[in-house]
Structure 1
């Protein structure tokens, strides 16, 4: 079986048909402008979700960094692995750039941890922007030390295998969240969302307008001057005589 050559550590490639079944390393996605990524740090996940139809985002993940104020924000490097196996996660950590967010499709399996404290050390050295794992972690106390936002499905003491297969920089589904390589991944105390790279500027514009609107509503709520017609009109439209 042919071993796929790599054109460079940052952007490996292989001739058509050269990858063994179940293995693939796609090219690194173009990076969003640094200023755009930084601007999203001021956007709550709930607001971004409101601006994307209120029907997208990961489901069932928990923050293991235990810092409610921590914000995960960066371009996605995607990984798909066999449940309980982290061989290709180790390879992905060789390819990431500072600020990248590793998004891992582990099929939601909780029988074996995909990452633990030793890999956390590697993530810190590589200056990873964060982790989103549809699977389990272990060594909870080390993740709780902070310095790296990590969202995972759950935890277990049982360690992973390193046999493969797996894929890097391919489209994945992670806890109900569709993610393409290079998408902007945003996470906070409310959850995790992925913003398609091509829509990031538009979502940022909408989110800023949404925050302005919320500020006006909050001010009227605090002053006790909110307009009851805002909801009465909705109720009348549904047939309730108010």
Structure 2
């Protein structure tokens, strides 16, 4: 029976680990720019760890708000390099993960949590370098009844995440790279990095070209007067 709403599926395909590792030094703004600023998890999910970049393959969980039974199962299923990404409906009434699950995840080689919901035992996360992004903190614990689903498309912070997508998080937030586009995005990011290095150099040596600002304003029909041009 196809028990939609209470089922566990496999990840059909994971990204090559060597390709994932090439994103290690990539920043989320560069990913966002090269995905037309359309593949970012919302800013309400913020980092709770002391430091460290989040990078890995999405193992997705959709759970009833306040219930973490399927998140426990996801930890047991996960492979090293996976990121557990949880759609808990954005509800922060009950915590979805805490220190025990943190320790379990680290032991398994999981690279981080993204929780559209709350965490607890926050001190254990704040003082460590295991990446976790969440919507809030509460001392109230979770239920363990289900239902829920593992490795289905989910919505986290307004972003659609598929199992196997590349997840990258840093100080600016979390970017999602569709699995089939990862190699292409990496190539575009490297080109942008070179361009931005040149821009920063031109700022430093005083040769930066800012004519594009006025060009866009003129294209938009902006009205100029003499005083504005002298500013």
**Fold match by TM threshold 0.5:** yes
User: Which of 134, 157, 169 is residue 187 of structure 1 equivalent to?
Assistant: 169
Deviation of residue 227 (structure 1)? 1.0
Match of 2:45 in 1: 61
**1:88 paired to 2:73:** no
Deviation of residue 56 (structure 1)? 2.5
State the alpha-carbon separation in 2 of the partners of residues 29 and 212 from structure 1.
35
After TM superposition, which residue ranges in structure 1, 4 or more long, deviate above 4 angstroms? none
State the alpha-carbon separation in 2 of the partners of residues 123 and 56 from structure 1.
26
- For residue 235 of structure 1, give the secondary structure of its aligned residue in structure 2: helix
Contact 2:39 2:177 in 1 (8 A): no
For residues 115-137 of structure 1, the C-alpha deviation after alignment (integer angstroms, 9 at most, x for no partner) is: 10111110111111111000000
- For residue 80 of structure 2, give the secondary structure of its aligned residue in structure 1: coil
Contact 1:124 1:147 in 2 (8 A): no
Deviation of residue 147 (structure 1)? 3.3
Q: Which runs of 5+ in 1 are unaligned?
A: 1-16
CA RMSD of aligned residues (A): 1.2
Match of 1:28 in 2: 11
User: Which of 128, 149, 159 is residue 110 of structure 2 equivalent to?
Assistant: 128
Match of 2:30 in 1: 47
For residues 47-98 of structure 1, the C-alpha deviation after alignment (integer angstroms, 9 at most, x for no partner) is: 100000013211111101021xx11111100000000000000011110001
State the alpha-carbon separation in 2 of the partners of residues 54 and 224 from structure 1.
30
Larger CA deviation: 25-34 vs 118-127: 25-34
**1:232 paired to 2:214:** yes
User: Which of 115, 125, 143 is residue 143 of structure 1 equivalent to?
Assistant: 125
Q: Which runs of 5+ in 2 are unaligned?
A: none
TM-score, with length taken from structure 1? 0.89
